[in-house]
Structure formats: structure tokens, C-alpha cells
Amino acid sequence: MSTLEIRDLHVAVEDKEILRGVNLTVRSGQTHAIMGPNGSGKSTLAYAIAGHPKYTITSGQVLLDGVDLLELSVDERARAGLFLAMQYPVEVPGVSVSNFLRSAVTAVRGEAPKLREFAKDLKNGMDALSIDAAFAQRNLNEGFSGGEKKRHEILQLELLKPKIAVLDETDSGLDVDALRVVSEGINRFRASGETGVLLITHYTRILRYVKPDFVHVFAGGRIVEEGGPELAEKLESEGYEQYTKATA
């Protein structure tokens, strides 16, 4: 069982405070949805936890099973069991998907996977996400459609099997078919009950496929309301207006 604990997290970008005291605990077996309007700081939370150099932590803690992630390098955080599915996965020329995935799996598991097993896992993972086999030889994210990029993020999620997954607007830019395929991937990942999910989204649409246990409304760089799945339905009908007004 794992626990991700975010305690009074304050984060700035170039001296501008974006996160203003975020408190949140995600345990194995739980799915938390963070919902909020654009510019509320949702993605900042995701990238700050993962350790993107653009973000400065001004105070607070992020603990994964008691280990302060903020003391670790980006790759150490990933090896400790954190995964960030990115909203805009970057294109890396000349690095093939298969080479990248093998390097990542080797790093996270601490040893190189057996070639045949890895090939099998990769094929199964790709089949499940309806990813074409030729994909493995392509350069990382290069020329991928929006949907292909997101499927590829979920493929990594399933191969790396982190303790806690942060999914940053994985649903954005997906059509309904792709959304279903991606959601099924997330649900397979959740099925073991041994992993926690922090799902960041602007829309309630994905929550019909990936049912959250908790919903948090994010505005002005902090959580302003919390509840169960019913809160998402309220947001669906009423929108974010009441929250953006309150923090303006």
C-alpha cells in the first residue's frame, strides 16, 4: 500500500506564486479527480510534483510513503514510484519508442527486462490500446497525433506500473473512441487496487469512464471544495463560475 501526501504546497514560476497551499492525500486503491478552470494551477501541481525545473517549490512537502519527493531528482522520483502522464508529451528526434521504453523499464525496475518478455509485454500493451505495431520503431512522439501521444502515455503507465499516477489532462484532445481506449487503460492500471490515481481534468467527460472516489475543485492555486463523485455532476451543470468569482 502506498500513500502520496501533499502538504501545504506552495509553488512559484519566476517569482509568481501559482500554488498557494495545496493539501491532498492519495492512497492506493483511490482515484482522485482534480477539476478546475484553465489557469487555476492544476498542471502546475502535476509538474511540480514530478520535478520540472521551471517550477520553484517555495514551501511545503510531497511525501511518497514517507519519502520527501522534493528532495529527489526527477528520475529518482519516477523510480520511487511516481508517474506523470503529460498533457503535451514532447517529441524527441532520433530516439525510438522501443528504445525509450526499454530504457525506462530498465531504469524503473532496476534491471533490464528479458528481451522476449519485454517484447511480449510491449505487444500486449500496444494491442490493448489499439496502437499499431510499427509504432515501436517510430521516433518518440514525433509526428504522433494527439490521440497517439495520449495512448503512448498510458502504454508507459501500464508498463512502468508506478505506485501513484498523476494524469494531467490525459482526456484533452481525444475523440470519444480514443477516450474510451485510454480510459480502459487507466482502469486496467487501477484494477489491481494497489495503485493510486490523481486525475487532473477540465471536463467531466472522462469521469464517466474512470469513476473517481473523490473530486477536488481547484481554483486560484488551491483546493476550494471537496466531495464525492456527485461534485463532478454539480460542476457539469453549474460550471466553474462560482469558484472563479470567489478567487478573483
Partner 1 sequence: MGLNEKPLSTLHEQASFDLGDFEVPTGREEAWRFTPLSRLKGLHNGKAEAAGNVRLDVDAAPEVTVETVGRDDARLGKAFVPTDRVSAQAWQSFEKATVVTVPREAVTSKPTVLTLTGSGAGAAYGHIVVKVEPLAEAVLVLDHRGSAVYADNIEFVVGDGASLRIVSLQDWDDDAVHVSHHHAQLAKDATFRSFVVTLGGDLVRLSPNVSYTAPGGDADMSGVYFVDAGQHLEHRLLVDHSQPNCKSNVDYRGALQGEEAHAVWIGDVIIRVEAEGTDTYELNRNLILTDGARADSVPNLEILTGEVAGAGHASASGRLDDEHIFYLQARGIPYDEARRLVIRGFLGQLIEKIQIEEIRERVLSAVEAELAL
Return residues touching partner 1 (CB under 8 A).
50-53, 73-75, 77-79, 83-84, 86, 89-90, 92-95, 99-100, 103-104, 107-108, 139-140, 156, 160
C-alpha cell at 152: 503512448
Residue 55 or 218 with smaller CB distance to partner 1: 55
Residue 37 or 89 with smaller CB distance to partner 1: 89
Residue 84 or 164 with smaller CB distance to partner 1: 84
CB of 112 to partner 1, least distance (A): 13
CB of 173 to partner 1, least distance (A): 18
Which phi-psi region, left, alpha or beta, contains residue 143 (left: φ > 0; alpha: ψ -120 to 50)? Answer: left
CA dist 43 and 46 (Å) reads 5
Q: Helical H runs in the chain?
A: 42-50, 74-80, 97-109, 115-128, 146-160, 176-191, 229-238, 241-247
CB of 79 to partner 1, least distance (A): 5
CB of 93 to partner 1, least distance (A): 6
CB of 107 to partner 1, least distance (A): 4
Residue 43 or 204 with smaller CB distance to partner 1: 43
Residue 140 or 199 with smaller CB distance to partner 1: 140
CA dist 99 and 51 (Å) reads 24
CA dist 217 and 132 (Å) reads 37
Integer CA distances (angstroms), 69 to 48, 75, 187, 195, 247, in order = 10, 11, 26, 17, 29
Beta pairing class for 196-201 and 16-27: unpaired
Any bridge partners for residue 217, and if so which? 35, 225
CB of 219 to partner 1, least distance (A): 26
Residue 107 or 119 with smaller CB distance to partner 1: 107
